[in-house]
Amino acid sequence: MFKGSLVALITPFRNGAVDDRGFQDFVAWQIKQGTTGLIPCGTTGESPTLSHAEHKRVVELCIEVARGKVPVIAGTGSNSTQEAIELTRHAKDAGADAALVVTPYYNKPTQEGLYRHFKAINDAVDLPIVIYNIPPRSVVDMSVATMARLAKLPNIVGVKDATMDLARPLRTRIALGSEFCQLSGEDITVLAFLAQGGHGCISVTANIAPALCAELHQAWQRGDLAAAQRLNERLAPLHDAMFCEASPGPVKYAASLLGKATAETRLPLCEIADESKDRVAAALRSVGLTG
């Protein structure tokens, strides 16, 4: 079971290329700060603009550093089922602990199409699969009923839920049981998501505030609701700032202010606006990450 504060890792670039050393240093820092799981090559990692070779290399670089200390859930999704199978096979061969597979974007499959897509990956690769349900980016929303069908398959173990529907984790828990891993994909909902039956969060904010995010989950797990609420309120302005423009533009700019990576993104994402930079910088100050 995956739980706690997991991070949707940024992919640092330098002069247009993946910064291998910078990425591995960043992963090592995340582990030291208390992050409980690593997700390379998700949306925050700019997977749509990574070549297949870069994608596979980033997964390998992450696994090299993790070395079993924390689980690696490699992003392997695609709107092509065969491409998703290929990337999932690579993740297994590289030593990933699981795969994060997004619902196919742009194609707009039916619920039956979603079921068959994930079943094909389940049947092709013996690796735990976390469904990534994110209707705002993929246009389709996997129903609880479809997820319940998929949960009967041996490799479908959980969901990253980015629906912003806080009734969903409770309904999912009732339908699928407490062993089906539920991870929030929206930082701002994390405490409410946990209260409704969730197990953790795949976080964007953890890229820049890993210790604080980890402390929130630790407080929740030991039953210290007051501490969890304080941390939740402290982090809220930072969560909002990380999405003042399309992610990962703001979080990469924040990482650059902390000296953890450059602010470089790849087109069609570009440098965030000056007013967004001011908002990100103010949020970092408000949380105490910068002076």
Residue tagged active-site, from 92, 132, 260, 277: 132
* Beta strands at 13-14 and 17-18: parallel, antiparallel or unpaired: antiparallel
Dihedral in degrees, nearest 10, Cα atoms 251, 254, 258, 262? 70
- pLDDT digit string (tens) for 126-185? 999 999 999 999 999 999 999 999 999 999 999 999 999 999 999 999 999 999 999 999
Active-site hit among 3, 56, 92, 160: 160
**Per-residue pLDDT at 228:** 98
Round to whole Å and give the CA distance between 256 and 79.
31
Residue 39: pLDDT band with limits 50, 70, 90: very high
Question: Is it true that the peptide bond before 268 is cis, omega within 30 degrees of 0?
Answer: yes
Q: How confident is the model at residue 1 (pLDDT cuts 50, 70, 90)?
A: confident
Tell me the domain boundaries of the chain.
Answer: 4-224
Supply the pLDDT for residue 251.
98
160 counts as catalytic: yes
Mean pLDDT (whole number) for 40-54: 96
- CATH tag for 4-224 (out of 3.40.30.10, 3.20.20.70, 3.30.70.420, 1.20.120.450): 3.20.20.70
Question: Per-residue pLDDT for 271 more than 90?
Answer: yes
| pLDDT band (50, 70, 90) for residue 291 | confident
Whether residue 48 has a cis bond before it, omega within 30° of 0: no
Which residue, among 43, 118, 31, has the nearest Cα to 71 in the 3D structure? 31
3-state secondary structure 16-45: CEECHHHHHHHHHHHHHCCCCEEECCCCCC
**Residue 38 confidence class, pLDDT cut points 50, 70, 90:** very high
